Amino acid sequence: MKCDYKSGVAALGKRGKHLWIRDGTIGHGEFSLTHSIPLSEIQSVEVTERVFGQTDVEISAMPGLTLDRHVRETVPRHVTDVVVGTKDGHEAIWTVANRGSDWVRERLRPALSNAGVPYYDDPLAAQRAKRL
């Protein structure tokens, strides 16, 4: 998945591109997985969406002046944060531009489910963890 790694886990370095889940590991790399940690070290994954950049402003000058104008609306931008919490308490953070949280969750779900890694907001996963 094309995204930016923002840091958080020393083994993954300070920055990178593209999130990869492959061969029991999660990490990043431009064309292949170059920096990774084992999925067995992952406690949970949190996926949250932010929307910003929407403007619709009316600018007015002093009364009597003809400087009143309307600033056109900009299109809101979607950014989704993927926070991977490790069992030792660290958090690796990736940001995915122009994609909603549902899209990101659906791309990550198969690989994370196979590894038994829960989403942070998955109530069933929390119940399963209590039973273990």
The helix or strand, by DSSP H or E, that contains position 129, with its residue range, turns out to be helix 123-131
Residue 31, amino acid: F
Q: How far apart are CA 43 and CA 66, in angstroms?
A: 60
Single pTM value for the model: 0.72
The dihedral built from the CA positions of residue 98, 79, 100 and 72, taken in this order, carries a sign that is negative
For residue 34, what are the domain limits? 4-131
Report the half-sphere exposure of 94 (CA within 13 A, side-chain side): 25
CA 100 to chain CA centroid, nearest Å = 9
**How do the pLDDT tens digits run along the chain, 132 residues long?**
788 888 888 888 888 888 999 889 999 988 888 999 999 999 889 999 988 766 555 555 555 555 555 555 567 788 999 999 999 999 999 999 988 889 999 999 888 888 888 776 554 444 444 444
Domain count, the chain: 1
Q: Tell me if 95 sits within 8 A of 6, measured CB to CB.
A: yes
Rg value, the chain, Cα: 20
Amino acid at 105: R
Paired residues of 97 in beta bridges: 79
